[in-house]
Structure 1
Amino acid sequence: MAASTNNPSEPGYDRSEPDLSAVVAERRGLINLAYRLLGSLAEAEDAVQETYTRWYAMSRQQQEAIASPGAWLTTVAGRVCLDVLGSARVRRERYVGAWIPEPLPDRTEWLSGRAGGAEGRPADPADQVTLDESVNMAFLVVLESMTPAERVAFILHDVFRYPFTEVAEIVGRTPAACRQLASSARRRVRTGGAGGAGGAAETARTTATARTPGARQAGLVRDLKEAWESKDVEALVGLLDPDALMTADGGGMVGTVLRPVEGGRNIAQYLIHIADKAPGLTLVERTVNGRPGLVAQHNGTPATVAAFDIGGGRITRIWAVRNPEKLRAWTEAR
């Protein structure tokens, strides 16, 4: 399978120790797959852990009978994620306010020694997610509109380049049915309403490593930061698209607006309102899911992570994540 890093024909493959030579090495790829499938780092980590639990529950004889441990792990991880997506749809219907995918920092911003460290801890999952266009927030939000089967078929085929014969084995449908699922998912991406998501789908066909954000988008985010800090309403209005939309996710755990704020001027006034209520707010420019973003800090602790989408030279979408359970990768990386 495409995500497998080892197979029995490769040099160094030790049939007597499949857990060392092939299984452990798959963790990074599994985390990358699971995060894109679930939009949640915590759920991705749990799904991968469940996958490994099933592997180690087998006897050594059963493990050695598997020709490609990497392919087996990917299949199981895909099925686990498919089940999680089904139950997640029910949970998110009861979620307080809007549900936004969990934001990720650029792994180069993590403290040195974070991955592994002197204590022998495993690398943090956030440090293992490759930040390409398939994890930008606009793209992940569109993925949330798909059915679980559509999302799995689309991500496996269009992003990770699995053939439909292998996708079918994971999804439990025929290759032809999986082809239809992926086609339906592409239509959702094209008409998903999140600016830039269509381009993300095309770029996602290659799994490029984390890149330097475009200067234009970084400049717009910096200008918004400065206008916000100076409480300049008109400057904010000039940076925001007239039809811009701001969505916040507090998960019912912290105070935030429960409905999206519509319109550039309304968003500008809301941002000023936030600044007035939180005089100690500090804004820091950070990379959020591979693109320029902002982190609002209180006393040095990240309280809000904001991702942006750009269209026509203005900011069209703002996703503000405040749910502390989704900010673990940011608070632990300080």
Structure 2
Amino acid sequence: MTTVPLPPMGPGDVRVRMLAAPVNPSDVNIIEGKYPLPRAVPGVGGNEGVGEVVAAGAACVGARVGDRVVPNRSYVDGTWRRDIVSACENFDVIDRDVPVHAAATLTVNPCTALRLLEDYDAREGETVVINAATSGVGRALLQIARTRGIRTIAMCRPREDARETEEVFESLRADGADVVLPDVEGKILRLDARTRELASRARVAYNAVGGYSAQTMLRLLQPNAGSRMVTYGGMSKQPLLVPTGAFIFKDITLSGFWLTRWLEHDATHNSSRGRRAMLDEICALIRSGALVVDAARFRDVPLARLQSTLALDAAAPDRPGLHKILLRL
């Protein structure tokens, strides 16, 4: 951690005092050079967070002192800092009744979940298959799908302790999962009648893991029904394992989704109106209680302890259920 001077404010700039920012897997991947988002070196990590406007230039439109704001991910160079000076149009104002931990994690996981459901033809009464179900995107998918009458099959890695495994599975059912399946490499799942009934209406799968888990998802999708597996992450760091029969006999389509690409297209072709509507919808779901971002699933970490905390986490990369870091700035 270091201290650097802030740039001078222009008439169209705001100064934002950051309140909190999460550490997402993509943040670490960017630092490691494994993510296709260029960053200046030295630079500041972090793609999302929430802050409060503490100063605004005379020509600033859309944000005032005291407003709570979230940065537009592609235009603010790093959120793991105390203060940001940037153009006011690089921030979106959000209501103060959205809790800080939910606001800090608003623009990546819930937005990804909403886009996956909206853009890939997930229909009321049908079933979607979700792996990495305890992730931020996974839990948001479960809860938002429930509001739309979409059924869900959730896949989750078991914990070492049987009681802990059942507690995690029960938490997924509470979030809206109709069925929870253990995601275990090399284990052939035996599907009960309820799971088979749900799978008979499954045309879309959302893959964030890859490897053997993705192969299991393909097994659950219906053949010759326009079925699709959308990959938006690769937590296992393994390539997709796709049997030839998934293409020939089931006619399954494979797609990829990257929220950054969607945001860039929206900014270019829709003047960012889609982004604003998306944020408003998610905030409304949070306020209504339909989308719950559980504060207990975060670890509050001061910025000064970030490096040591990341080192400890890196020493146990395969530990499931590790609570997300939320930097308190």
Q: Provide TM-score, normalisation by structure 1.
A: 0.21
| Structure with a larger share of its residues in strand | 2
Q: Provide TM-score, normalisation by structure 2.
A: 0.21
| Structure with a larger share of its residues in helix | 1
